[in-house]
Structure 1
Amino acid sequence: MNNATLEVVNPFDLKPIGEVKLVDWPTIDAWLNTASQLHKTRANWLPMHQRIAILKKTAQLMQGRFDELAFQIANEGGKPLMDAKVEVTRAIDGVELCIKELGHLTGTEIPMDLTAAGSGRMAFTTREPIGPVVAVSAFNHPLNLIVHQVGPAIATGCPVLVKPASATPLSCLAFVNMLYEAGLPEEWCRFAPCKSDVAEQMVTDPRVAFFSFIGSGAVGWRLKSKLAPGTRCALEHGGVAPVIVDDCADLEAMIPALVKGGFYHSGQVCVSVQRVYVPEDMATALAQAIADKASKLKVGNAILADTECGPLVNPNEVKRVEQWVNEAVAGGAQVLCGGQKLGETSYAPTVLLNPPLDAKVSTQEVFGPVVCVYGTESLSDAIAQANSLPVAFQAAVFTQKLKVALRCVREIDATAVMVNDHTAFRVDWMPFAGRRQSGYGVGGIGHTMHDMTQEKMAVIKL
């Protein structure tokens, strides 16, 4: 990175694949001023039918460039092409979901004559755009995350400035350009790749009405603490996703789910399977079954059709994962597969049995291809360990007993508990959020659109 451009590389072979111009503060300052004026002057607001037409056209353009978008995701982000295609499908569905959710973004009638004081009046609410939005995104879903942040802003009539992850700006740029091609005036959505100091100045500017952040907890909480008075926000951070396995679980169905949930995008997912709690007498066999399947996953360049696990986002992440695994092994963890770098940019899918409970792989988000299996004495012990960390996002339980499933749903500290499915399951209309240190607010397209609007009430004296 220099003062003018950001070079983008394929994270597997580190070869340059493109570049984007960095935006300086004077430019962003002018964009924020324009966005503020767009919102303040109601005559400037885009009517809903126009916003719907733009989003419909954008979805059509995305469908027409499906393969190009999937290759871009794989090429810049390292997500295997087979999974990148799924992301494009979700992103197109997400744009269309923005249109559908507009029909649910309604006000309500407020009864006034419940007491004599309100008698003779009628009241109702409407929803209107909150104002300028700044979206800061992550690298791991470089198209779909942008859709989740920018699509709701466009749908609700909020001008938006979007800063993509520095590793993956090209998918964001493609989406923004398709919005323009679909008829969105450029002042309503600005592509704003910039240095971190400029990004912080943009986020904390008092003209920002809503801040959408997807990324590390350390950065997100720090930025939240610096927001201007009145700026609303939503933060989506990571977790250390727990899975509880009951002694009657269907192992044949469970193993593929755990492998997919743990090694999808090489574990670079905020709800990736990381901690698997199993009855003590089953732990070794289950861990070995996961390892047997994980060891067969093909690691390579994500742009190749048969790659199942791509690289990590940069070489420093490979070194970090290596250090964390080595720490766990030194503390007594048993390596059942992997446990080593595969060159500068990739790490082998790794299964660890009984790492120390205070090791980094047990207490922090690995964000790499590492699944840890722990033997537990009882279901109560497993639930206690699952709830032992200051982060809480999605969790899972595998069981054929309704009583066990419902107990885990009730007692696991998580925003969602998957029964007989992995922790990384998601559809784009469901609420998606972290508790405590894992986030603030609720994601999911409809929920984000609600956050990007505000309620106004009219009280009419008859």
Structure 2
Amino acid sequence: MTRPLQVVQAFDRAVITEIAVDDAAALEARLATASRTLLNRDAWLKPHQRSAVLLRTAELLQARQGHFARLIAQEGGKPLVDATVEVIRAVDGLRNAAEAIRTFAGREIPMGLTPASEGRWAFTTKEPIGVVAAISAFNHPLNLIVHQVAPAIAVGCPVIVKPAAVTPLSCLGLVELLHEAGLDEAWCQTFITDDNALAERLATDPRVAFLSFIGSAKVGWYLRSKLPPGTRCALEHGGAAPVIVDRSAPLDTIIEPIVKGGYYHAGQVCVSTQRIFVHADIADGFIERLAARVQALRVGDPLLERTEMGPLIAPREADRVLSWTEEAVAAGAKIVGGGRLSETTLAPAVLLDPPTEAKVSQLEIFGPVTCVYRYRDLDQAIDAANALPFAFQASVFSADIAPAMRAARRLDASAVLINDHTAFRTDWMPFAGRRQSGYGVGGIPYSMEDMSQDKMVVLRYEG
């Protein structure tokens, strides 16, 4: 008999519950069900049915906002205030998907442009790409699931979703709401496992037409290399998001968004602010203000409403972040703050001028640490920001339009935020990692395009 999966609170490791895990037989059953559902074209859900399910699910989720926020805080460690925002975003995401169905359509293809194309009328329609396998991450255990599942439902794809093994409860709760809202189980199934081999079998099964993967670059790119011919995918990884602070930037107003960008969810965000390049003329004042605000962050139990920063997801992650900061300090960086508060909770830290070759300057920290570097020349700062093999979102803070726009044009990023932090996102905007940071474009309407395919119909007529 397969052992149950123990789900614990990220903050104190207390057991929340134990849930049954799925085995190879369960995986085969889910794949067979999804494939059979797709092949029965006469039973495909109509647009109005898909829209109704998504809107009803949004209503149910909104009514249980407090329950889901607490669940996110418990299993994922996100502070309750931010967990509540995640639920609100998830509700909006479901509505976004339903609304997008209204304009999700093909187009007319011009005919009659040559004598050979006369007497024909051509247009495209949208069809589901096929079975979707959605493998998700722990850091937004509800909203990431919405971003993967809602587009699939909106376009009519059967979807099998595997949440992170450490945060499965939010996913299970959302799928239950979808079924309560009237969606037949065959259209959205969960697959619960902590077995990487089984997860790989899900992702690479030839019956899967599209893989949606959110997680580590190492795993994502490996899975992509194993996909059978014809299977498409979207990968969302992370980076070491850069911020450039121009000397014209008003220090009194920029600290708060930068701290939010760097320490939101203890830095466990794929576009978390990590590398901050500050003009030397204002560096001392910037560091003083940044250090004071970071050290004033209220760190602790995410279930307390006053908490601004909670734990890391697991003790091994706290160990890793500490080792990276210690390496940087040993190599000459100065540190403000830092240290361990519990098995999974770290005090937030600021590293000043860590060496370029240090891990904190080269790799995604995914923890409550930001790095500050001084610069004199804007283009040198931009070059340093662009120097890593991954790129996602970037920011520039400036009161002057010229340096802001120069940075916006030259930064290698899929999005450049001007006078805002790197972790800003709305759920309808395109969201994509460049180079090693990802593949494809996220965001609910963009995922709907990925999970669909065009079919052209050409009608020949006389007269």
Equivalent pair of 1:20/1:169 in contact (CA under 8 Å) = no
Residue type at the aligned position of 1:217: A
Aligned twin of 1:268? 268
Distance in 1 between residues matched to 2:141 and 2:19, nearest whole Å: 15
How far apart are 1:376 and its partner, in Å? 1.0
Alignment of 1:53-72 (within 5 A): 53-72=52-71
Matched, 1:335 2:339: no
Matched, 1:35 2:34: yes
Aligned twin of 1:192? 191
How far apart are 1:396 and its partner, in Å? 0.2
Aligned twin of 2:356? 357
Distance in 2 between residues matched to 1:250 and 1:128, nearest whole Å: 50
Matched, 1:138 2:128: no
1:103-155 residue CA offsets vs partner (Å, 9 max, x unmatched): 12111100011122212211000101111000000000000000000111111
Aligned twin of 2:225? 225
1:148-186 residue CA offsets vs partner (Å, 9 max, x unmatched): 001111111111100001110000000000011111111
Aligned twin of 1:112? 111
Equivalent pair of 1:113/1:119 in contact (CA under 8 Å) = yes
1:425-459 residue CA offsets vs partner (Å, 9 max, x unmatched): 00000000000000000000000011111000011
Residue type at the aligned position of 1:148: H
Distance in 2 between residues matched to 1:30 and 1:76, nearest whole Å: 28
Matched, 1:94 2:86: no
Aligned twin of 1:424? 423
Aligned twin of 1:238? 238
Alignment of 1:437-452 (within 5 A): 437-452=436-451
Alignment of 1:40-51 (within 5 A): 40-51=39-50
Matched, 1:382 2:405: no
Distance in 1 between residues matched to 2:386 and 2:98, nearest whole Å: 38
Aligned twin of 1:312? 312
The 3-state SS of whatever aligns with 2:281 is helix
Residue type at the aligned position of 2:56: K
Which range moved further: 150-159 or 279-288?
279-288
How far apart are 1:3 and its partner, in Å? 2.9
The 3-state SS of whatever aligns with 2:326 is helix
Residue type at the aligned position of 2:303: I
Aligned twin of 2:150? 151
Matched, 1:205 2:205: yes
Aligned twin of 1:6? 5
The 3-state SS of whatever aligns with 2:235 is strand
Equivalent pair of 1:217/1:238 in contact (CA under 8 Å) = yes
Distance in 2 between residues matched to 1:343 and 1:178, nearest whole Å: 35
Aligned twin of 1:400? 399
Residue type at the aligned position of 2:341: L
Equivalent pair of 2:56/2:181 in contact (CA under 8 Å) = yes
1:374-407 residue CA offsets vs partner (Å, 9 max, x unmatched): 0012101100000000000000000111111111
Which range moved further: 53-62 or 202-211?
53-62
Equivalent pair of 1:282/1:375 in contact (CA under 8 Å) = no
Distance in 1 between residues matched to 2:264 and 2:393, nearest whole Å: 16
Equivalent pair of 2:7/2:166 in contact (CA under 8 Å) = yes
Residue type at the aligned position of 2:218: A
How far apart are 1:43 and its partner, in Å? 0.9
The 3-state SS of whatever aligns with 2:282 is helix
Task: Give TM-score scaled by structure 1 length.
Answer: 0.98
How far apart are 1:19 and its partner, in Å? 2.1
Distance in 2 between residues matched to 1:339 and 1:69, nearest whole Å: 31
* Structure 1, unaligned runs of 5 or more: none
Aligned twin of 1:180? 179
Alignment of 1:72-87 (within 5 A): 72-87=71-86
Distance in 1 between residues matched to 2:302 and 2:5, nearest whole Å: 21
Distance in 2 between residues matched to 1:101 and 1:19, nearest whole Å: 37
How far apart are 1:32 and its partner, in Å? 0.8
Residue type at the aligned position of 2:379: S
Residue type at the aligned position of 1:271: V
Distance in 2 between residues matched to 1:184 and 1:412, nearest whole Å: 44
Distance in 1 between residues matched to 2:287 and 2:436, nearest whole Å: 29
Distance in 1 between residues matched to 2:254 and 2:14, nearest whole Å: 38
Which range moved further: 275-284 or 147-156?
275-284
Distance in 2 between residues matched to 1:71 and 1:108, nearest whole Å: 45
RMSD between aligned alpha carbons? 0.9
Distance in 1 between residues matched to 2:171 and 2:115, nearest whole Å: 55
What is the aligned residue count?
460
Distance in 1 between residues matched to 2:437 and 2:261, nearest whole Å: 19
Which range moved further: 257-266 or 399-408?
399-408
Task: Give TM-score scaled by structure 2 length.
Answer: 0.98
Distance in 2 between residues matched to 1:436 and 1:119, nearest whole Å: 44
Equivalent pair of 2:247/2:281 in contact (CA under 8 Å) = no
Matched, 1:169 2:168: yes
How far apart are 1:253 and its partner, in Å? 1.1
1:310-343 residue CA offsets vs partner (Å, 9 max, x unmatched): 000000000000000000001111112x221112
Distance in 1 between residues matched to 2:425 and 2:200, nearest whole Å: 30
Distance in 1 between residues matched to 2:444 and 2:246, nearest whole Å: 34
Distance in 2 between residues matched to 1:159 and 1:190, nearest whole Å: 8
Equivalent pair of 2:52/2:98 in contact (CA under 8 Å) = no
How far apart are 1:236 and its partner, in Å? 0.2
Distance in 2 between residues matched to 1:243 and 1:212, nearest whole Å: 29
Distance in 1 between residues matched to 2:36 and 2:190, nearest whole Å: 18
Distance in 1 between residues matched to 2:17 and 2:445, nearest whole Å: 34
The 3-state SS of whatever aligns with 1:117 is helix
Distance in 2 between residues matched to 1:277 and 1:435, nearest whole Å: 21
Equivalent pair of 1:217/1:439 in contact (CA under 8 Å) = yes
Distance in 2 between residues matched to 1:217 and 1:298, nearest whole Å: 31
Residue type at the aligned position of 1:393: F
Residue type at the aligned position of 2:251: L
How far apart are 1:243 and its partner, in Å? 0.3
Which range moved further: 169-178 or 300-309?
300-309
Equivalent pair of 1:243/1:395 in contact (CA under 8 Å) = yes
Equivalent pair of 1:158/1:188 in contact (CA under 8 Å) = yes
Distance in 2 between residues matched to 1:312 and 1:340, nearest whole Å: 13
